[in-house]
Amino acid sequence: MIVVDIQEFLMRFSLVSLVLYFIRRLRKTLRMAIVSPPTPSPSPSSPPSPSSLPWLGRWLLLDKEKAFSKLEKSKKPRINDPTNKNFLNNDSTISDKDQNVDGLISGGMMMEIPAFSGINEEGRRSTNSRKRPAKLMVPSFVPSLDFGEVGKKFEKTEFEIEGRNYSVACRKGRREVMEDGQGAMLDILGDHNQAFFVVIDGHGGKAAAEFVAENLGKNIVKELERVEKKEGKYIEVAIREGYSFTDQEFLNLGQNGGACVASALLKDGELHVANVGDCRAVLSRNGGVAVRLTNDHRLTKEDERARVENAGGFVYCHNGVWRVNGSLAVSRAFGDNYLKEWIISEPDVVKLPLTSDCEFLIMASDGLWDKVSDQEAVDVVAKEKSSILACKKLVDISARRGNLDDITVMIINLKSFLGNNYDLINLF
């Protein structure tokens, strides 16, 4: 029977476990050293001879070199690596005829090393090369890159016109494009006492406003020459025909949008005012009394709402605003082809004789009248020394009160059209 000392057995077992533990740690450390590539040195020296190492280090070193050689073959050459001298030659231009440039092609694109790359002939980065600081490059405006705004012209936000016997001031609202318009025709048929003025409030773009400003006055004058003179009626007929013909011409163009209009025709000692939509004309007479000469064609009026509904249109109130088919807040306008069955261009026309108590006429878009009352507008004009200053002041008042719509204000001096005393009357 073999008797073994338990204490001696445990001591020997502990020593064996300790030796095995250190051997495992050593092997793990050597494996990690084999996987990681050696750090290149600026002046590489030949590796130590395997024969000078112990037998354990010899086979570990051989395995390490094999693994590293496979790793180097699988890697692409790095141009900026100082140890890669095959691609760092700044003395001559790299050419695909006299050098192997396969390593310089990446994704089909030829790569070059510029002469100022900061790398010297020996393949080391120069210590005197300067590093360019980071900089944010902000490109200049290129219209072709401004998507959605190609070819767009930037408009003036406001302008004024001081003409003979009239003045105009305009200011663009929150929209990108000024949709208001205005026009004037003086000396119609060579007569100083005949003139035509118009103020236009466009919607859905400026196409309709521009077309009306260009063509409405011309068409009315053509109708005046064509229509047979009938006492008290032929001028009104010419105005209505001019409105209708201008509207049809614009619809034939197939363009979108529409326009509200207020116009004034001065002829033969009479003032003829017409309008469609909510542009308004207000007369000052008898020392500054405001007299409205137009009707606002809005759906708040019972007769306009009934006309639209009787024609088959749908009218309802949303956020306090009555609209035709949920779209347009006026019941009469130029254009608006998609609503033309209910939105008509037939104007209301008012005629009155020009007398000595007729002082001036204010025509403006709803950008003014939504914030300024008729009488207040007349009072402002009466207090100013010139009509252009009065126009600008009315525009400023409306803007200060929160108006965000386009504003156009026109003031016409009616005293300049009173018969044969035109040259003797002081201009307003």
Digit-coded pLDDT (tens) for 80-112: 444 444 433 444 343 444 444 343 333 333 344
pLDDT category of residue 294 using cuts at 50, 70 and 90: very high
- Given a contact cutoff of 8 angstroms between Cβ atoms, the answer to whether 308 and 325 are in contact is no
List CB contacts of 104: < 8 A, sequence separation 6 or more. Answer: 79, 87, 94, 110, 111, 112
Domain finish residue from 103, 123, 143: 123
The verdict on residue 260 lying in a domain is yes
Identify the weakest region by mean pLDDT among 137-151, 186-200, 405-419: 137-151
- Same-domain check for residues 170 and 87: no
- Given a contact cutoff of 8 angstroms between Cβ atoms, the answer to whether 136 and 142 are in contact is no
Q: How far is CA 208 from CA 179, 200, 217, 369, in A?
A: 9, 9, 14, 21
Which token pair is 307? Answer: 């006309």
By C-alpha distance, which of 361, 359, 325, 319 is closest to 340?
325
pLDDT for the residue numbered 425: 39
Burial tier of 173 (Cβ tally within 10 Å: 0-12, 13-18, 19+):
middle
The verdict on residue 214 lying in a domain is yes
| For range 388-417, the mean pLDDT | 96
The verdict on residue 130 lying in a domain is no
| For range 157-170, the mean pLDDT | 93
Q: Which residues pair with 332 in a beta bridge?
A: 344
- Same-domain check for residues 231 and 167: yes
Name the residue with higher pLDDT: 114 or 13. Answer: 13
The domain that holds 239 is classified in CATH as 3.60.40.10
The Cβ of residue 419 has, within 10 Å, a number of other Cβ atoms equal to 9
Can you tell me the distance from the alpha carbon of 138 to that of 141, in angstroms, rounded to the nearest whole number?
A: 9
Provide the residue range defining the domain that includes 406. 158-297+332-424
- Same-domain check for residues 91 and 193: no
By C-alpha distance, which of 393, 391, 386 is closest to 410?
391
- Same-domain check for residues 108 and 177: no
- Given a contact cutoff of 8 angstroms between Cβ atoms, the answer to whether 165 and 427 are in contact is yes
- Same-domain check for residues 264 and 379: yes
pTM listed for this prediction: 0.63
| For range 114-133, the mean pLDDT | 42
Domain finish residue from 102, 123, 144: 123
Q: How far is CA 103 from CA 69, 84, 109, 111, in A?
A: 18, 11, 11, 9
- Given a contact cutoff of 8 angstroms between Cβ atoms, the answer to whether 236 and 349 are in contact is yes
The verdict on residue 312 lying in a domain is no
pLDDT for the residue numbered 53: 45
Burial tier of 179 (Cβ tally within 10 Å: 0-12, 13-18, 19+):
buried
pLDDT for the residue numbered 270: 95
- Same-domain check for residues 117 and 165: no
- The pLDDT of residue 260 is above 90: yes
Name the residue with higher pLDDT: 142 or 215. Answer: 215
- The pLDDT of residue 263 is above 50: yes
- Same-domain check for residues 184 and 109: no
Digit-coded pLDDT (tens) for 190-216: 899 999 999 999 999 999 999 999 999
Identify the weakest region by mean pLDDT among 193-197, 214-218, 319-323, 387-391: 319-323
- Same-domain check for residues 101 and 173: no
The average confidence (pLDDT) of the chain is 76
The verdict on residue 67 lying in a domain is yes
Domain finish residue from 66, 99, 123: 123
| Start-to-end C-alpha separation, the chain | 142
- Same-domain check for residues 119 and 162: no
Q: Is 390 helix (H, G, I), strand (E, B) or coil?
A: helix
Name the residue with higher pLDDT: 47 or 195. Answer: 195
The verdict on residue 117 lying in a domain is yes
- The pLDDT of residue 33 is above 80: no
The verdict on residue 146 lying in a domain is no
- Same-domain check for residues 179 and 277: yes
| For range 284-300, the mean pLDDT | 96
Most confident listed range (56-60, 199-203, 419-423): 199-203
**What is the number of domains present in the chain?**
2
- Same-domain check for residues 111 and 168: no
| For range 131-147, the mean pLDDT | 38
The verdict on residue 107 lying in a domain is yes
- The pLDDT of residue 55 is above 80: no
Instruction: Compute and round to an integer the Cα radius of gyration of the chain.
Output: 45
- Same-domain check for residues 242 and 343: yes
